[in-house]
Every structure is written in C-alpha cells, then in structure tokens.
Chains A and B, each alone.
Chain A
Amino acid sequence: MAADVAAREAPNRPMVPITYYLLLAAALFCMGMFGVLVRRNALVVFMSVELMLNAANLTFLAFARMRGDAIGHVSAFFVIAVAAAEAAIGLAIVIAVFRSRGSVLVEDIRTMKH
C-alpha cells in the first residue's frame, strides 16, 4: 500500500527520504524542550510545549507514511484536538497569572520557595 501511494502521487519525482522528516521532528522536539527550560516569557514557554507536541505529530505522520497505515494519521488528529484543548486551558491560566501579578515572566512566578 505504501508503494501504491508513492506511485500514484509522484511517479517521476524523487521522494524526500523519511529520515529527513524524522531528523526535522527531532530538531523541533529539542528546540521545544530547550525553550521550555530556558525561555523567560510564559507565553513563549507555552509555545515551546506546542512545538514539542507538533514534533511528535510529524514523527507519527512520517512513520505512518513510511508504513502506509492509517493509525499514525489518526493519532495526529487526536493530538491536534488535545493540543487545542490544552491551549485553551493554558492561556486561561496565563491570564490568571497576569491578573494576579501583572507580569508573565517566569522568574516573577515564584512566591513559594523554601
């Protein structure tokens, strides 16, 4: 089935090898992780988490394409839906933080340290 899809869509064009997609996904994941750990603005930290989720999505899709089965594609849709729900609650919490202290910088969010 994988061969069918490839033949139907691109008979003559050279395919981008799957490894490239996986490396791109790994790079996105690492960038996201780095962003969560070092960025100071809560919104950017939140964006970095989304980047990590999308890296996982890209990995699912690359493998699904390689194997030609549907479960990877379906997984990506589920992840997109979950990420949307997470964005809703995440932004609400960032707004709550902003209302209570007038700042969304991570270093300002630390009253509880002992």
Chain B
Amino acid sequence: MNLPTLSLADFFPLLPAILMVVGACILLLSEVFLSATASRAYQAVLTVVTAVAAGAVAVVMMFEPPREVMLGFGVLDPFSSFLTFVVCVGLGLAALSSVGFLRRRGAERGEFYALMLFASAGMSLLAMSNELITLFVNIEVLSIATYALTAYLRRGTRPSEAGFKYFILGAFSSAVLLYGAALVYGATGTTNLTAMVGPLGAAIQAQPALVYAGVVLVGAGFAFKVAAVPFHMWTPDVYEGAPSPVTALMSAGVKAAAFAAMVRVFFTMGQGIDPRLPLALFSTLAFLTMVVGNLMAIPQRNVKRMLAYSSIAHAGYLLLGVAALFVTAPGEQFRLLGPSELTGGSPLDIARAGALRGILYYLLAYTFSAVGAFAMVSALERREDEEKGTAWDLERFSGLAQRRPGWAFAMAAFMLSLGGIPPTIGFMSKLLIFQSAVDAGLIGLTIVAVLSSAAGVYYYLRVVVYMFMRPVPEGAQVLERNWGTEVALVVSTAAVVVLGIIPGPIGAWLEQAGTLFGR
C-alpha cells in the first residue's frame, strides 16, 4: 500500500487551524495546574492572541495562488482564507465579551475558551474542505464543540434545554447531509468535489433520481445549519438559552462557515447539474427566510430572541446572494470568473462575481454588528433574572444613553448596521448583495428583500428609542464595566462605522477573495 508523503510545506495552509488547536491544548493543559481560586484572566488574553495570530496568517494566505492542499481533500483559495479571517474576528470578539460574562457567573474555566478555539478551528477547516467526508467531519468538529458550549453553564434549566435542542437538530441535520452525500457518492463514485464535476454530468443522465435526491438532501442539511426557513425552528430557543458570548460565536462563525461550505458544494454541483435547480432552491429559501425572519422578530420584546430572529432574516439576505450566484442565461454554461478575468465577462458573469463578493462582505459586516450586539446583551444581563425570562427585556435598555453614553452609542451603531442604514458597514454590504441580485435579474426577490429589511428597521430602531428616549427605570441594576467588553465594543463599533464610511481597505481584499478554486 502506498502511503502518501507530506512535506512540512503541505501543512502551511492549515496554519490558522493548527494555531487554534495548539492554543486550545495549552488552555486545557494549563487548567490542570491551577487552583480553584487562581486568576484566569490570561485565558481570554491567550484566546484573543491566538485569534489575532490566526487571522494575520489568514490575511497573508489570501494572496497565495489558489491550489489543492492535503492531497485534494482541501483547497487553499482566497475565499477560504477570507472566511478564516471572518471566523477569527468573530472568535476574538466573542472571547473578549466572555471575560466579564464568565466572571459574573463564577464560571471561568479554561475549557470554555478551549472549546471556542476548537469550534473555530473546525470552521476554518470547513471553509477549506473540498471533499464531502472532510466536510462532514469538520461540520461535526465545530458542532460538537458548540453543543458543549451551549450547555456550558450548569445552573438553571435554560442552558441544558438549549443544548439539547441544538444537539438533536444539529445531529439530525448532519445525518441528512451525510445521507445526501452518500447518495451523491453512489451516483458519481467520488466524494471529491473537484473530481465530481465530470461524473455528475454523466450521472444526471443515467440516474437522475439518485442525483436529485442527494443534492436536495445535502441542501436541506445545509439549510438547517444556516437556519433558513422552514428549517429554522431551533434557532430562537438555542440562541436565547445559550450563554450570550456563545450565541455571538454561533451567529457569526458557525453561520459564516456553513455558508462557505454550502457555496462551495453547490458551486461544484452547479457545474455538473442544471444550475436552475440550486437557483430555484435558494430563491425559495431566501424568500421564506427573509419574510418569516423579519415578521417573527417584530413582536419580540426579548432583545436576545429578537436578535435570533434577526439572524434568521440576515441568513435570508445572504441566501438572496447565493441565489444570484446561480443565475445563468438560457444555454449558457455555468461559470464563475475570478477578478482578473472579469473584463471580458458578460454582464451575468459580473453579477455572479459581485454576488460572491457581496456574500463575503456581508458575512464580515454581520460578524462585527451581531457579535457587538450580543456583547452588549451579555453586558446588561443578570443571572438572577434569567429564569424569569426578563434578563433580556427591552426595559433593560431604558435610559442607557444617560447611564453609559458610550455603550448606547455602540449599540445604536450595531442596530443601524443590522438594519442596513448608512453610514454603517451593514448598509454597504446590503447594497452589494442587492445590487448584484438586481444585475442578475432577480428583481422580484430583491424588492421583497428591500421591503422586509424596511420592516426590520422597526424593531432595530425600537432598541435605540428605548436607549435614548426612555427614562432610567427605578432601581435599575448597577452596570459593571469590564475591560473585555469595552475592548470588544470599541473594536466592533470602530469597524462598523469606519468601514461603513470608507469601505476601501477591504475593497482590495474583497476583489481578491472572490476567487474560488476550480472554476
């Protein structure tokens, strides 16, 4: 039997994930030597340092030429590197906001940050996966760590309930995805995405039922992971019950990685089978997700639950971008051009490339805004109110502008960004996605998107109204400051505002990042 030989250079593309795993192992091992009362402030610092290092490596890798790595089981392309960068941003900000959160609950332990790092390593590898089994294993690496994080707090009934719901539906969706992958493997004889393009075209003639069943099951599995309607039922309960920093990581990192894997898988399938199938699938999901997500968020007085529904709505806008990726002219071969070849492309080529860039920018924008908003939620909540369910009530935000003007300004920036109001990063990213959807000819769907995001502005601005126009309630709790939360808020507010006014710095990256391997 021939064993493959791997040189050290073959492991370079995995460096961000390796850094995160090493960081996690250090955290786990160092915990053994600490007494129960020892200071654990270094743990968050170590996590943030790891995230920054991994993110810096990802930025460097964005300029590497796209290629297969690890014997074709993964690919290194600017797309995956950009996603790794987004994951590192989410991880760093979520780790910063957990410092104060864990201290108030007396639950500071190394495994919390270690699990966050393991989950992020899985996300980074998921964005690189180019083979269905690798993809499945990485989904599980990130999911299993997130299940444990969701049920991390042992006091109270909510965390275990959220963990249970997340676990059952997560495992269920993984099984659906895996069964779909098995059917696709049966039809094509390979699990490698690059090698699948040719056989898929032949298999669709020979065994159309097998291929369609496989593709639809894989699509349904991913729809669960990104919380698209009608596969969204778990999201509000899980987001509400999980510790707030974990919810932040889930809404940003898990979703970004799942979108990356979904785009990569369906990009391959779109070349083999008729691209109108993914177009129909994603248009339907986008329509339902945008409308239902926004409508369900409107009556919520619980801010954390409102943000959960808002995250469903944002998945809808992203799905609109994914649908725009698969628009083809009649008889046209589906393809996606890189930035250097665009000058000779047709208008649809430009629209599709724009949609891919829009998705990436949106994921970054959503990471900054949502993780910031969840950091604020976790700064305001108190454990005593959790069982009563009032820990996240809108009343908590009353008069915040008088008590902590800086916090109120930051939260207002996040809300405007989530609502898509200029001058914020959320506006720029929505503009990119809607513009490329219109260019691709999805006019009706874009009108729905604009109308539903206008409805969304109502519930985002309600939080701002409470912060700036309501008096401070009697007997309001003392607001503790914590360096972690403050740093997280400053960084994400700066990113939301500055990148909304001058999107230039990441414009060049984004041009680059719209490069998928194997076009």
User: Which residues of A are interface residues toward B (Cβ below 8 A)?
Assistant: 22, 25, 29, 32-33, 36, 42, 45-46, 49, 52-53, 55-57, 59-60, 62-63, 66-67, 69, 71-72, 74-75, 78-79, 82, 85-86, 89-90, 92-94, 96-97, 99-101, 109-112, 114
Contacts and interface: CB of A to CB of B under 8 A. Distances in A.
Contacts of A79: 133, 136, 178
A71 B181 CA distance: 13
A35 to B, nearest CB: 10
Interface string B162-196: 11110110011011101101110110011100000
Given A56-B179, A93-B160, A93-B163, A49 B172 contact: yes
Contacts of A112: 158, 161-162, 236-237, 240-241, 389
A52 B175 contact: yes
A96 B159 CA distance: 9
Given A59-B186, A100-B156, A114-B300, A109 B175 contact: no
Interface of A (DSSP majority class): helix
B302 interface: yes
A55 B191 contact: no
Interface string B411-434: 000000000000000000000000
Nearest to A110: B161
Contacts of B136: 78-79, 82
B282 interface: no
A33 B157 CA distance: 27
B151 A53 contact: no
Contact of A52 (B151, B176, B236, B300): B176
Interface in B129-144: 133, 136-137, 140, 144
B167 A90 contact: yes
Size category of the binding interface on chain B? 35 or more
Nearest to B169: A36
Contact of B171 (A22, A49, A69, A97): A49
A6 to B, nearest CB: 17
Given A59-B186, A78-B133, A100 B157 contact: yes
Nearest to B139: A82
Identify which of A56, A66, A109 gathers the most chain B CB atoms within 10 Å of its CB.
Answer: A56
B264 interface: no
A35 B77 CA distance: 41
B140 A75 contact: no
Contacts of B161: 97, 100, 109-112
Contacts of B174: 53
Given A36-B172, A67-B189, 9 more contacts: A42-B164, A55-B179, A72-B185, A86-B144, A90-B171, A92-B148, A93-B151, A100-B156, A112-B389
Contacts of B164: 42, 93-94, 96-97, 109
B237 A89 contact: no
B194 to A, nearest CB: 14
A100 B160 contact: yes
B305 interface: yes
Given A85-B144, A100-B160, A63 B154 contact: no
B378 to A, nearest CB: 17
B157 A52 contact: no
A72 B189 CA distance: 9
A79 to B, nearest CB: 7
Contacts of A55: 175, 179
Contacts of B186: 22, 59, 62-63, 66
Nearest to B146: A89
Closest 7 CB pairs of A and B: A52-B175, A63-B186, A59-B182, A96-B160, A56-B178, A56-B179, A49-B171
Contacts of A114: 236, 300, 302, 305
B147 interface: yes
A75 B167 contact: no
Contacts of A110: 161
A96 B163 contact: yes
Nearest to A18: B186
Given A63-B182, A114-B302, A86 B160 contact: no
Identify which of B140, B156, B161, B165 gathers the most chain A CB atoms within 10 Å of its CB.
Answer: B161
Given A63-B186, A86-B140, A93-B151, A111 B157 contact: yes
Nearest to B160: A96
A93 B172 contact: no
A93 B176 CA distance: 21
Contacts of B162: 112
B297 to A, nearest CB: 12
Nearest to B299: A114
Contact of B168 (A36, A63, A78): A36
B240 A46 contact: no
Contacts of B176: 33, 52
Contacts of B157: 100-101, 111
A65 to B, nearest CB: 11
A14 B225 CA distance: 43
Contact of B182 (A56, A85, A90, A101): A56
Contacts of A36: 168, 172
A60 B190 CA distance: 11
Nearest to A81: B137
27 contacts: A29-B179, A46-B168, A52-B179, A53-B171, A53-B178, A56-B178, A56-B181, A56-B182, A57-B182, A59-B179, A59-B182, A75-B185, A78-B136, A79-B133, A79-B178, A82-B140, A93-B147, A93-B164, A93-B167, A96-B159, A96-B164, A100-B156, A100-B157, A100-B160, A100-B161, A101-B157, A112-B241
